[in-house]
Amino acid sequence: MAELDIVTVPNDILRKRTQKVVDFDKKFKQLVDDMVETMRAAPGVGLAAPQVGLSKKLIVVEYAEEKDEEEEEEAPKKLYVVANPEIIKKSAEMEVGIEACLSVPNLIGDVERHIQIVVKGQNKNGQPIRIKAKGWLARVFQHEIDHLNGVLYTDLAEHVWQPETEEELAQAA
């Protein structure tokens, strides 16, 4: 595995629509592994192929659901690898939340997103998958899928600002 360079604005690849993944070969699986390593090292909760300079419909997301107040320990993180992701269902209900992005360093913003979504796509072996996401996980998927269409969260944000502390930036990420 190898850690990849994360591209940042104003790199043109972040503004382009991506190409469908058609080959789920050894090279593709290596890319998935490299993207997961890069996301974890950043650290981030999601990463889209354009963020590492590749125009492919591929995202990786790793997230632990919020724990209930009664639970002692945090839920384990779950890794999602989705090629050719597509949001096929969105809740009417939306909410504003703070977002940050590895490709837009040192900024955070308020973005309105759907509270629940259903995503269909393919796993790293090319098999069809379907993911129901709600809350923060739904927000992460919407953010990463936007990258595949050349959309940055700053395009959608009601308000963008530079965080005053590292803690504020970490909370948004």
Active site residues: 144
Sheet containing strand 104-114, edge to edge, reads: 94-101, 104-114, 159-161
CA-to-CA distance for 36 and 34, rounded, in angstroms?
5
The helix (H) or strand (E) run that includes residue 138 is helix 135-147
Q: Which amino acid is at 27?
A: K
DSSP 56: B
Q: Among all chains, which residue has been given the structure tokens 């659901």? A: 65
Q: Which of 21, 22, 102 lies closest to 61, judged by CA?
A: 102
